[in-house]
């Protein structure tokens, strides 16, 4: 019987939005598994930790679609292949649906959906002859709704459907496309919930495991999806939410 292994040693992986939170945890997990990891952040100071952290940091605003394309081309040119693209960069909002202005809607859609799509497209074009592996970080809010997250929910639902569509369209080119759906995770995005004891109590009451997740709780799913252990898996969404969506 062959030895079961994640087998990520020497693979080249790009993680967007890796400056903190879920993205940083995933980037560090890949690094610890022996991969050659690139991580992006929007500011020089946001990627400073990568310099001494074994991750190759790049400043990237994913809303600048051409810059994302150029980064992927740079990595492929330098290493010969980009084995996995992790689309993690995203933004949220607590704006009531009736209060949205066009610029805020555009920012959420451009970051959470359009940038993700164009990065997938650029990666596919760069790797078409070799095949590839895409992991899109979506959210359970693409599956269920919550208050004050209308546009965010919409973009994450779109990411889940895009994941399925790309998996179907690109399977013949030896591409796999899957998604991770985090529940409520202890990051900057959930700071507003943590700041109010009553909200935290309500949130924990809705989670069967009775706690908010940690960024490290997502690392195992990312390692699995990036490895050959998930080689017959595409178009799927892995839900990691402490049981939030099972009731």
From the list 38, 123, 124, 152, the catalytic residue is 152
SS (H, E, C) the chain: CCCCCCCCCCCEEEECCCCCHHHHHHHHHHHHCCCEEEEEECCCHHHHHHHCCCCEEEECCCCCHHHHHHHHHHHHHHHCCCCEEEECCCCCCCCCHHHCCHHHHHHHHHHHHHHHHHHHHHHHHHHCCCCEEEEEECCHHHCCCCCCCHHHHHHHHHHHHHHHHHHHHHHHHCEEEEEEEECCECCHHHHHHHCCHHHHHHHHHHCCCCCCECHHHHHHHHHHHHCHHHCCCCCCEEEECCCHHHC
* Four-point Cα dihedral 142, 172, 69, 177, nearest 10: 30
Residue 152 annotated to the active site = yes
As annotated, the active-site residues are: 152
């Amino acid at each position: 019987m062959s030895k079961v292994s994640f087998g990520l040693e020497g693979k080249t992986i790009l993680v967007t939005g890796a400056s903190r939170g879920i993205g940083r945890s995933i980037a560090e997990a890949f690094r610890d598994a022996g991969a050659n990891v690139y991580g992006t952040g929007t500011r020089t100071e946001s990627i400073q930790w990568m310099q001494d952290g074994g991750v190759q940091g790049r400043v990237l605003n994913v809303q600048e679609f051409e810059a994302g394309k150029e980064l992927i081309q740079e990595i492929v040119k330098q290493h010969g292949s980009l084995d996995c693209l992790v689309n993690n960069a995203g933004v949220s909002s607590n704006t009531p649906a009736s209060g949205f202005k066009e610029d805020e809607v555009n920012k959420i859609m451009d970051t959470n959906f359009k940038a993700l799509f164009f990065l997938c497209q650029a990666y596919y074009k760069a790797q078409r002859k070799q095949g590839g592996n895409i992991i899109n970080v979506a959210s359970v809010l693409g599956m269920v709704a919550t208050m004050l997250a209308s546009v965010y929910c919409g973009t994450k639902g779109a990411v889940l459907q895009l994941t399925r569509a790309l998996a179907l369209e690109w399977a013949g080119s030896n591409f796999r496309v899957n998604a991770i759906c985090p529940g409520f995770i202890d990051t900057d995005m959930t700071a507003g919930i943590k700041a109010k004891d009553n909200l935290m109590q309500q949130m924990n009451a809705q989670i069967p495991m009775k706690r908010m997740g940690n960024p490290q709780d997502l690392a195992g799913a990312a390692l699995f999806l990036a490895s050959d252990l998930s080689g017959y898996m595409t178009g799927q969404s892995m839900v990691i939410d402490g049981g939030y969506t099972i009731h």
